[in-house]
């Protein structure tokens, strides 16, 4: 069975959750879907002890992050969704990125497939010019296989700007997820 890991980097249940829910319900019964809402997890700040940090030894922090790291290693595809906060990722997602350090040293996420979804109130062109740059600061050293980025504009919960374009992007995201998981194979 294929495994899809959906990670919501929003500090509230908003548009990222809405789109991730649609993705989760779009895959077949032959896919195990695990959705992680980072806001609901106990993830403390990283100490930055990267010289001694390793997955095998375990992190000195005892919180929910170890279980998330295992899910990341076991999945076939990750979709990380995040709102655009001040042309950057949220603090919740940044803390998560920092706490993946145990996977960094041995590049345990090398070639792990990843799709990003960013949603914010700014025009898509602004988000496209800034937020993916921030995400690259994590994907490049982790050596993940960043497949695509979907950017939507919304001002309120379930109030997407340019509804037709947003719906087309969501459908393309769903199609790409299904193709990457090769549903039925």
Tell me the pLDDT tens digit for each residue of 93-110: 999 999 999 888 778 999
Percent of the chain residues topping a pLDDT of 70: 97
Please report, for the chain, the start and end positions of each structural domain, with discontinuous segments joined by +. 2-181
pTM strictly above 0.85: yes
Cα–Cα distance between 124 and 29 in angstroms, integer?
A: 33
Domain 2-181: CATH class, spelled out: alpha beta
Please tell me the predicted confidence (pLDDT) of residue 183.
Answer: 57
């Amino acid at each position: 069975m294929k495994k899809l890991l959906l990670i919501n980097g929003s500090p509230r249940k908003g548009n990222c959750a809405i789109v991730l829910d649609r993705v989760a319900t779009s895959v077949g019964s032959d896919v195990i879907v695990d959705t992680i809402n980072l806001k609901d997890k106990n993830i403390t700040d990283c100490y930055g002890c990267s010289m001694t940090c390793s997955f095998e030894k375990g992190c000195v922090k005892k919180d929910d992050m170890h279980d998330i790291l295992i899910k990341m290693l076991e999945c076939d595809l990750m979709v990380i969704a995040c709102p655009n906060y001040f042309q950057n990722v949220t603090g919740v997602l940044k803390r998560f990125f920092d706490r993946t350090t145990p996977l960094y040293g041995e590049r345990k996420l090398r070639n792990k497939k990843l799709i990003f979804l960013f949603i914010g109130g700014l025009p898509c062109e602004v988000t496209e010019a800034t937020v993916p740059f921030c995400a690259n600061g994590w994907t490049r050293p982790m050596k993940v296989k960043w497949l695509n980025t979907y950017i939507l504009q919304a001002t309120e919960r379930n109030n997407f700007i340019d509804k037709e374009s947003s719906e087309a992007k969501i459908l393309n995201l769903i199609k790409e997820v299904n193709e990457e998981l090769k549903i039925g194979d």
